[in-house]
Structure 1
């Protein structure tokens, strides 16, 4: 079984590495906190691609899930794992990942610190392990997640993403305003030079 051979870092509640264990051991012994990663992939119209977990999954079969998600292997960074999951599960590489943040995802069967990333991509997606997937508007995604059949890491990651999204929108609005102010100032200078 792959999970028995997959070695992941065990961490404390502050995300400091304190040991190593198999993925299976981390799911059996709920005192072992480990690292997970999830990524939300958006297209240029800001629709998010969410997947449906296969019915054969041992945890949360059939649940709505992130674009990609996985356990961070020992010695791997959150970002390295996100890049690898993106390539393995959707066939996407070479895109810029934005770090959204981290949160504690503690459930009855798992205790993980989840690293959350987002990216934009408009090309073809090739589904790996997921049973299916589709693009949702932000409202549709929020409604589907709130409906209650989502993985706990998607629920927590979505909350974190919404905070990130609001900050990004405010940052982009400030940047647009700066650019507009520069254009107005340049136009005034041009008009001033023409008049004199």
Structure 2
């Protein structure tokens, strides 16, 4: 990801209030949106992903199967579909929307959780 991406900026009610280039985000103040997927198979195994070492946040750490920050023009659902295709090369995954939560450490953001199962 680069600083040229325009990220949706939202308020405390998850209402869009603007957009900023990633490089211009003030992560102490700006609130953004992300979508996250936990992917399992019929045996109950979970696909985990390891973050690349070039990431500013948590390089090299293991995390959810797929995750992404919403860009201008995206919904939580459309972002998740795009990220699944980009990160693990799957299309047509039946998503089940879970909880949407707000986290403020280390960065302020809303997270829409999804689950799916594929074999």
The two structures have a TM-score, normalised by structure 1, of 0.58
**Cα distance in 1, alignment partners of residues 27 and 101 from structure 2:** 20
RMSD (CA atoms) = 1.3
Q: Aligned residues, how many? A: 119
* Matched position secondary structure for 1:115: strand
Q: Deviations over 1:155-177 (max 9, x none)?
A: xxxxxxxxxxxxxxxxxxxxxxx
Q: Which has the higher strand share?
A: 2
**Cα distance in 2, alignment partners of residues 29 and 99 from structure 1:** 26
1:18 maps to what in 2? Answer: 17
Structure 1 position 59 matched with structure 2 position 51: no
| Cα distance, 1:25 vs structure 2 | 2.2
Structure 2 residues without counterparts, runs of 5 or longer = none
TM alignment of 1:26-175, pairs within 5 A: 26=25, 28-108=26-106, 110-122=107-119
Q: Deviations over 1:44-76 (max 9, x none)?
A: 112211111122211101111110111011120
| Cα distance, 1:97 vs structure 2 | 0.3
CA pair 55-80 structure 1, distance change in 2 beyond 3 A: same
**Cα distance in 2, alignment partners of residues 70 and 107 from structure 1:** 17
* Matched position secondary structure for 2:82: helix
**Cα distance in 2, alignment partners of residues 29 and 92 from structure 1:** 31
Instruction: Could you list the structure 1 runs, at least 4 aligned residues long, displaced by more than 4 angstroms after superposition.
Output: none
Which protein has greater RCO, CA pairs closer than 8 Å, 6+ apart?
2
Contact 1:33 1:112 in 2 (8 A): yes
Structure 1 residues without counterparts, runs of 5 or longer = 123-196
**Cα distance in 1, alignment partners of residues 27 and 52 from structure 2:** 24
Contact 1:3 1:22 in 2 (8 A): no
**Cα distance in 1, alignment partners of residues 61 and 42 from structure 2:** 26
